[in-house]
Structure 1
Amino acid sequence: NVQDRSGRTHLFRYASRGDYEACQKLMEFGADVTIKDNAGWTALHEACLEGHVSIVSLLLQFGADPNVTAENSDTPLHDAVQRGHKEVVECLLLHGASIDAENTENETPLSVADETMQKVIQDWLQAAEEVLERDQYGKTRLHQASERGDLNELRRCLKYGADLQYRDDAGWTSLHEAALNGHYDCVRDLLLHGADVDSRGHDEDTPLYEAVWNKHHNVVKLLLQYGADVRKRN
């Protein structure tokens, strides 16, 4: 966390260069993602300016604020939009970056975007609304994809911020649906994105209970690998 004359740390330099491994090691050893240089920029600003989406995602995982402001009140989203980095923009939006944040020139990320980037933002916002839609049973699109075993649709839902812990009217999560129906790949992706392996559903059943009851052996093994509790009672 030692800063040079301009206030930049090692994390700034490696984030700017796109060195994922170095950034990961620094943060694992306690590099502070909130440090600002003399101009108010953070390492997240640097990664967004250069379009290093994997490092942007990593910084956000380690607690970087997607709406942090620089000296001119530019947010990382301002930077990514102005540089035309589509994947970075989508990553920031997924983590709650505001399209209405104003800098000192009263500019928002949307107002500084060109026509192409405006469409990227509008398309993302529309898709994010769609994945929250529920059918007559309270099932979201993520529930439906998990139930069918539609991995592509499931990944699309996750990309646009679907709620992993949301329960339908019967109390089931998407992980319950995937485990109940034996969709191994869907279970894996849901767990990789942070689904609660011991979430409670109808009658307090866990995903492991559903997988065991329906004899989905590979799914049972996978849930156990992610720490499912075999002692939980419904």
Structure 2
Amino acid sequence: MENESTLKHLIKAIQHGDLCTVRQQLSEHANKQSIIYTHFGKSGDTLLHYAARYGHMDILRYLVEELNMDIEVYNNDYKRALHEASSMSHYESVRYLIARGAKIDSLKKADWTPLMMACTRRNLDVISELLDHGADPSVQNKDGWNSFHIACREGDPVIIQHLLLGKPEVWKTKSKTGRTPLHTAALHGCENAVRILLERCSYEPDEKDSCGVTPFMDAIRNGHIAIAKLLLENHKASATAVDVLGAQPLHQASVTAQDDALSFLVHNLGIDVNTRATKLELTALHYAAKEGHTDTIKNLLGLGADLHARDTKGRSALHMACIGQHAETVRTLLQMGLPDTKDNTGNTARQYAKKPNII
């Protein structure tokens, strides 16, 4: 077989859409079939993959019609040409491959279909073409996501509406971790998507994933306050629901250092800043300290957090900062006057620190 390095000019010609050079390069090889089915690089792409990825129709036709290349040839990730064309929004290439009989719901690695790939690019023409030829938006990948999950992550309202129009029940899906498209849209800050889902779909308020997380929690812990308000007003979401660890949105916002969300919860919704998570009775201050969010600690104290609060094990925020090995946070808490006292087992915060001189 021809050494791969000697064929780099052929690959470059395909990438640049230079059909004349492609013809010339292939004419120099006695065994064209061997060359066109060579798998290049770690991904194992063939010439057909390159042509579809870059959307060069003349080269695509040449490979398929003149050289009789199999359009279902796959690379090391089981990607076909239709996956490539769909993921890169090459509408004409998608149309051509479908017309030549490409399998519409072929699965690449992790069980992604061409439609899923298209939904990552928000190209309505490509998505419509796939749907019109039988692509199933309810097919799930290895994580339990379908095309509707992906569309809700991207947040294009036109595409979301189009998928719902084509298959109204497509919203009735959960990932393998129990997450709905509403979770996905809230997590990624897709406000228009959330509006559509609340208007057109029948999600139960505060549906929880396998970790006990609700869409409202997803919105809050990622700082999407407008979506949090929308869920409160239009979906009767709970601002005090707890996850499997007993943490409320207040605690989750402390973990992710969403200071505006914390202010919203305390000032606008009246949440007690010293509310404790039910498992170990950790406060928001404990969570922020463990993650090393010094500015969030200051914000929480400004909101009325108790600097000296202890959990059920007798640990203060200083203990948690040492557990997280956050030297700056430790210094800040000491400067604020939090003493290095012992927990219920007699250990000081210093004894939790693994790094030298952290306290």
TM over 0.5: no
Normalised TM-score (structure 2): 0.30
Normalised TM-score (structure 1): 0.45
- Structure 1 or 2, whichever has the larger Rg, is 2
Structure ranking higher on relative contact order (CA contacts 8 Å, 6+ apart)? 1
